[in-house]
Amino acid sequence: MEAYLIETVIKVVVVLLIFSALAGIGTYFERKVLAFMQRRLGPMYVGPYGLLQVAADGVKLFTKEDIIPTGVVAKIFKIAPVITAATAFMAAAAIPFLPQFEIFGYTVHPIIADVNIGILYVLGVMAIGLYGPLLGGMASANKYSLISAARSAAVFISYEVVTGLSILAPIMMVGSLSLVDFNNYQVENGWIVWSQPVAFILFWIAAFAETGRTPFHLIANDHEIIDGFGTEYSGMRWGLFFIGEYANMFFISFVIPLLFLGGFGDGSVMGALALLGKVAFFFFFFLWTRAAWPDVRPDQLMWLCWKVLMPIAVINVVITGIVMM
Amino acid sequence: MFEAIAFYLFAFLTISMFYITVTTNQALYALTALAAGMIFISVFFFILGADFLGAIQIIVYTGAVMALYAFGMMFFDTTRDVKEKQGNKFIIVGLSALSAVLVVLIFVAPIVSDNITALYPMTEGAGNTQEVGMVLFTKYLIPFEVAAVMLLVAMIAGIVLAGKKMDLSLTLMNDAQIRHIDEEKNKKVIS
Domain locations along chain A: 2-324
Averaged pLDDT, A45-53: 84
Averaged pLDDT, A56-79: 86
B40, B56, B86 - which closes a domain: B86
A157 to B171: CB separation less than 8 angstroms, yes or no: no
Distance from CA of A1 to the nearest CA of B (A): 11
Q: Does B154 score more than 90 pLDDT?
A: yes
Judged by a CB distance cut-off of 8 A, whether residue B117 touches chain A is no
Of A182, A170, A197, the closest CA to residue A324 belongs to A170
Q: Which residues make Cβ contacts (< 8 Å) with residue A206, sequence separation at least 6?
A: A159, A162, A163, A166, A305, A309
Report the alpha-carbon distance of residue A70 to residue A67 in Å, rounded.
9
Highest mean pLDDT among A50-54, A265-269, A303-307, B154-158: B154-158
Question: Tens digits of per-residue pLDDT, A184-221?
Answer: 888 888 888 888 889 999 999 988 888 878 788 887 77
Q: Does A302 score more than 90 pLDDT?
A: no
Report the alpha-carbon distance of residue A246 to residue A31 in Å, rounded.
13
Of A163, A178, A179, the closest CA to residue A258 belongs to A179
Query: How crowded is residue B174: how many other Cβ atoms within 10 Å of its Cβ?
Result: 7
Question: Tens digits of per-residue pLDDT, B157-167?
Answer: 988 888 777 67
Judged by a CB distance cut-off of 8 A, whether residue B131 touches chain A is no
Tally of domains in chain B = 2
What CATH number does the domain containing B73 carry?
Answer: 1.20.120.1200
Do B76 and B3 share a structural domain? yes
Report the alpha-carbon distance of residue B134 to residue B123 in Å, rounded.
10
Distance from CA of B41 to the nearest CA of A (A): 14
Residue of B20, B58, B77, B134 to mutate, interface with A, max A Cβ within 10 Å: B58
Q: Does A251 score more than 60 pLDDT?
A: yes
* pLDDT for the residue A62: 86
Q: What is the DSSP string of A63-95?
A: HS-----TTS-HHHHHHHHHHHHHHHHHHGGG-
Confidence of residue B142 (pLDDT cuts 50, 70, 90): very high
Q: Does B189 score more than 70 pLDDT?
A: no
Chain A contact set for B51 (CB, 8 A): 115-117, 121
Amino acid (1-letter code) at residue A65: E
Q: Does B186 score more than 80 pLDDT?
A: no
Whether the Cβ atoms of residue A78 and residue A68 lie closer than 8 Å to each other:
yes
B69 to A75: CB separation less than 8 angstroms, yes or no: no
Averaged pLDDT, A158-173: 87
* Cα separations in angstroms, B113 against A51, B71, B104, B118: 70, 46, 14, 15
- Domain assignment of residue B23, yes or no: yes
Judged by a CB distance cut-off of 8 A, whether residue A75 touches chain B is yes
Instruction: Tell me what the pLDDT averaged over chain B comes to.
Output: 82
* pLDDT for the residue B190: 63
Judged by a CB distance cut-off of 8 A, whether residue A71 touches chain B is yes
Q: Does A5 score more than 70 pLDDT?
A: yes
Question: Tens digits of per-residue pLDDT, B15-33?
Answer: 999 888 888 888 888 888 9
- Domain assignment of residue B106, yes or no: no
Of A61, A191, A174, A80, the closest CA to residue A132 belongs to A80
CA-atom Rg of chain B in angstroms:
24
**C-alpha A195 chain-centroid distance:** 25
Q: Does B152 score more than 90 pLDDT?
A: yes
Task: Give the residue numbers spanning the domain of B163.
Answer: 140-191
pTM here? 0.84
Confidence of residue B138 (pLDDT cuts 50, 70, 90): confident
- CB-nearest partner of A297 from B54, B72, B171: B171
B59 to A134: CB separation less than 8 angstroms, yes or no: no
Question: Tens digits of per-residue pLDDT, A104-135?
Answer: 767 777 788 878 888 888 888 888 888 888 88
Which of these ranges, A34-48, B30-44, B107-121, B124-138, has the smallest mean pLDDT? B107-121
* pLDDT for the residue B11: 92
Q: Does B191 score more than 60 pLDDT?
A: no
Number of helical H runs and strand E runs in chain B: 7, 0
∠ CA A252-A257-A258, rounded to 5°: 90
What chain B residue is nearest to A71 in terms of C-alpha separation?
B79
- CB-nearest partner of A127 from B32, B62, B129: B62
